[in-house]
Amino acid sequence: MGQFPLTLSRFIIRSQAEHPGATGEFSSLLSQIGLVGKVIAHDLRRAGLINILGTTGETNVQGETVKKLDEIANDTFLRAFQGDGLVCALGSEEMEQMVSLPENWPQGKYMLLFDPLDGSSNTDCNMPLGSIFSVLKYTRADRPPTEGDLLKKGVEQVAAGYLLFGSSTMLVYTAGHGVHGFTLDPGIGEYLLSHERMQIPERGKVYAVNEGNRHKWTPGMQRYIEFLKTPDKATGRPYSGRYSGCLVADVHRILLGGGVYLYPGEVDKPEGKLRLLYEANPLGLVVEQAGGRASTGTMRILDIEPKKLHQRVPLIIGSRDDVETVEAFTQGRA
Ligand code: AFP
């Protein structure tokens, strides 16, 4: 008889038992993220039916059009974490400022940063979407957290991960001891351990990049993509291009099969598009924990000292060898 699959809750309890000082708060936080994933997945499944697709007509802090589902997902995170005593501050890619909790509300020791709905242009065409989260610890007792407390290097994250809303819903996370993936079984409403100790291959055969931006890239980046497309049996080229427009889905594919995701800086916009605290840092931690690498092209993502909440950063992430090859091109060594 086969073993009964391990649920997220059982896995969390088991992991907690390995940390004698654990109070259970972190375990509750992860379970709550799992719940958020169920709620968002439920909304996304009905999105085409209940007329919640499309735009609100407003623009967010990044100057981008807000989808109704962006707002719905953002509210879901806020409702799940405000007032339950697990966090003391929240930061959302969709909100200009940090959300602090009223002083008389229960305060937890964690701070949560999240991108509530990544790849939201995919909402109208039934393509994959994701949510990304980053967990930081607040250690001061003398005052409530301020926005500056959220500006921590990626290496200081205590946990990070993502929810992927694709053909199935997945929760993938790391708490600094490997990366574990859980798939939601909709029949029983439970996340089951489907990918224990995920390891990214050292080199892949897939690249994910928006090639429509080629004319904006530096010569080094243009040469790298040409290199990937040039056949060479010994190094497994040409690579296959796969780009969904959802960072979570693209990085997930690469985490499983290897390769590289690139959202490079551009000549007129060297900072690129993606957000350091909401996208690059959490995915950087996940990929590093799986044995991969995350870089701007010139430095490790997790070592960047953030200056502001919505800071953008170029992102080259994936298999170690592939990211190192990109770095050789962007640094003029190839
Ligand atoms: P949103 O979080 O605003 O939906 O952004 C999506 C995203 O940051 C990321 O998921 C994609 O990889 C990337 O943008 C796609 O951007 P382009 O449309 O410029 O290729």
DSSP 178-197: -EEEEEEETTTTEEEEEESS
- What atom of ligand 1 comes closest to residue 118's alpha carbon? 2
What pLDDT, on a 0 to 100 scale, did the predictor assign at position 55? 64
- Distance CA(22)–CA(132), nearest Å, equals 24
Phi–psi pair at 132, nearest 5 degrees: -125, 140
In three-state secondary structure terms, 30 is: helix
Ligand 1 centre from 290 Cα, in Å?
23
* Run of H or E including 207: strand 206-208
Binned at pLDDT 50, 70 and 90, residue 45 comes out as confident
Ligand 1 centre from 141 Cα, in Å?
37
pTM for the predicted model, two decimal places: 0.94
- Count Cα atoms within 13 angstroms, Cβ side, for 283: 34
Q: In this structure, which residue's CA is closest to atom 2 in ligand 1? A: 118
User: Residues with beta carbon inside 6 Å of ligand 1?
Assistant: 64, 115, 118-120, 210, 245-247, 273-274
| Residues in a beta bridge with 174 | 160, 179
Ligand 1 centre from 263 Cα, in Å?
9
- What atom of ligand 1 comes closest to residue 115's alpha carbon? 2
The predicted-structure confidence for 95-141, as pLDDT tens digits, reads as follows 999 998 878 887 899 999 999 999 988 988 889 999 999 999 998 88
- What atom of ligand 1 comes closest to residue 279's alpha carbon? 8
Which domains, ranges and CATH numbers included, belong to the chain?
8-195 (3.30.540.10), 206-330 (3.40.190.80)
Tokens 């291009």 belong to which residue? 241
Q: In this structure, which residue's CA is closest to atom 13 in ligand 1? A: 245
Binned at pLDDT 50, 70 and 90, residue 65 comes out as low
- What atom of ligand 1 comes closest to residue 208's alpha carbon? 12
Tokens 């999240």 belong to which residue? 114
Question: Is pLDDT above 90 for 48?
Answer: no
- What atom of ligand 1 comes closest to residue 250's alpha carbon? 12
Q: In this structure, which residue's CA is closest to atom 5 in ligand 1? A: 119
Angle (CA) 270-273-277 rounded to 5° is: 105
The predicted-structure confidence for 240-290, as pLDDT tens digits, reads as follows 999 999 999 999 999 999 999 999 999 999 999 999 999 999 999 999 999
- Distance CA(310)–CA(143), nearest Å, equals 24
Q: In this structure, which residue's CA is closest to atom 20 in ligand 1? A: 210
Ligand 1 centre from 200 Cα, in Å?
22
